[in-house]
Structure 1
């Protein structure tokens, strides 16, 4: 199996890709830069979250520059509504053609920016207060069945060093529900007494997640038999998961590894690292776990985010009832 550890991470690009035509020294640009510094220093946003804000606000600044708006006070509610329409308009109509989810995130970024402007006294009134994002379709997380997870893990097995590492990686992702960015950021010291792993989530918030016996055994095999071999070829990285040359695995590397394993497992559906996170949460809920416990394990700031998995469980129960009960259908 080819190792993908040498693929660079997408988020290793420059902090911000400036768009052509955007004036760098306008009062609006300076205010946006102050807001981004505030997000970094005072709110402690992760690099991924910060880059999402940067992309959204770069588009906003580009849009306003095209209308000769160069200061926060010059922005009107009409500008804000036109910006949302521009994001959603097809490219054939000179829009960006963004999906509702991407547009919703941009609206959230812009509203947050204007609240900052108001709190800092840069504007008298928040003109985005009534700005609404497009309604998102109700989409349930796509989870593997328990049997499909087992097939995936079996396909990752083997005695080759990369196979031992890959099995440990997949066992950990499924055992903890960690985001891919969290998994590749784990250090060896984050595995605590083999029983728990310390996960650093969004905003650098830490949570302690237990490891099941299968994940413990797979990690122990990797740490004893493989990681020292990989580490000897690198520069002494503390990261838990390394490539064959000793460099930390990137998110892209893990995605490619998982795709190859899913192909070998002959799974007839798309599988990504986030699929294992959804599967982790769904299987916990189906097993009777309390939603607050699942919230803590996933690192969700709000229980409302976790409650979507209760809907998944209800749908599974409804389907089982409909196919099993003799009086379920007329």
Structure 2
């Protein structure tokens, strides 16, 4: 099993070109599936069939797993059987005719312009930490990049003179324009804060550093945004991704075309970006219902 998992990981990286997070998710799902079949007396994966997969889906359902979790597991297992086919270890994929459980699509939380202003104005710009936090929040809202992308940025990825950011992932690179406010905050952070903290670690080229002069982590940024959102008077569950959702929605509300937003977000499929048009449609309906005399 271990040797098979190693080959599967290579397959995911080379053939599927999955990101690090997706790779971890697939590996975790398949390991859990292995544990299930072993507990049920199946020694080899080649001895499994459609009934095995269905019983596993039912097992997850009985555990109270969310529909989205079950769907993701089925997608991982389907991919694994496809890999077994390429290795000629099985003759057919037992998951091909299995229907994926329908997930109820939940619209993401977005912030109003007022809420964005309140959040982005929280950091105290008289301190290193405040200058850094202000630059990070402004950059997230200005570009819509993910937290993983934020913390892996290098100083060389910025071109403040031309006003753009180069964002690299494991499979693609995209160029995203920067707004004037984000540029000013980044310039201030680089000249007044980062240069001081890098004295502790002169070799680290990461754009954003913690107070020890090391690269900022995902957990570190989560703690930062939680600190600032606690001070906001809102019932919305605000996460780092909320700024990404707000970035896209506000662009579309102000007339940006879907294709441009897709490119800036780095979505491979435009259908993923279309969720933000639904948010805009809901806003229009809400305005109509509140203002039209015969609504």
TM-score normalised by the shorter chain: which range applies?
Answer: over 0.9
Match of 1:204 in 2: 171
Are the aligned partners of 1:80 and 1:131 in contact in 2 as well (CA < 8 Å)?
no
1:161 and 1:210 map into 2 onto residues whose CA distance is 25
Match in the other structure for 2:12: 39
TM-score (norm 1): 0.86
Q: Work out the CA distance in 1 between the residues paired with 2:225 and 2:214.
A: 18
Which of 35, 43, 46 is residue 73 of structure 1 equivalent to?
Answer: 46
Q: 2:33 aligns with which of 53, 57, 60?
A: 60
Deviation at 1:157, TM superposition (A): 4.1
In structure 2, runs of 5+ residues without a counterpart are none
Answer whether contact 1:143 1:278 (CA < 8 A) is retained: yes
Q: State the secondary structure of the residue aligned to 1:39.
A: helix
Secondary structure in structure 2 of the residue aligned to 1:199: strand
Taking structure 2 as the reference length, what is the TM-score of the superposition? 0.95
- Structure 1, unmatched stretches of 5+, are 1-25, 91-96
Bigger drift between 235-244 and 308-317 goes to: 235-244
1:50 to 23, 37, 52: 23
Residue 319 of structure 1: aligned partner: 286
**Runs of 4+ more than 6 Å apart:** none
1 CA distance for matches of 2:111 and 2:42?
A: 49
User: Does structure 2 retain, via aligned residues, the 8 Å contact 1:72–1:122?
Assistant: no
What is the deviation of 1:84? 0.9
Q: RMSD in angstroms over aligned alpha carbons?
A: 1.4
Equivalent-residue separation in structure 2 for 1:59 and 1:317 (angstroms): 44
Partner of 1:251 in structure 2? 218
Question: Distance in 2 between the 1:245 and 1:234 partners?
Answer: 8
Instruction: State whether structure 2 residue 106 is matched by structure 1 residue 139.
Output: yes
Higher mean C-alpha displacement, 171-180 vs 45-54: 45-54
**What is the match of residue 276 of structure 2?**
309
Shift of 1:238: 1.0
Matched, 1:149 2:116: yes
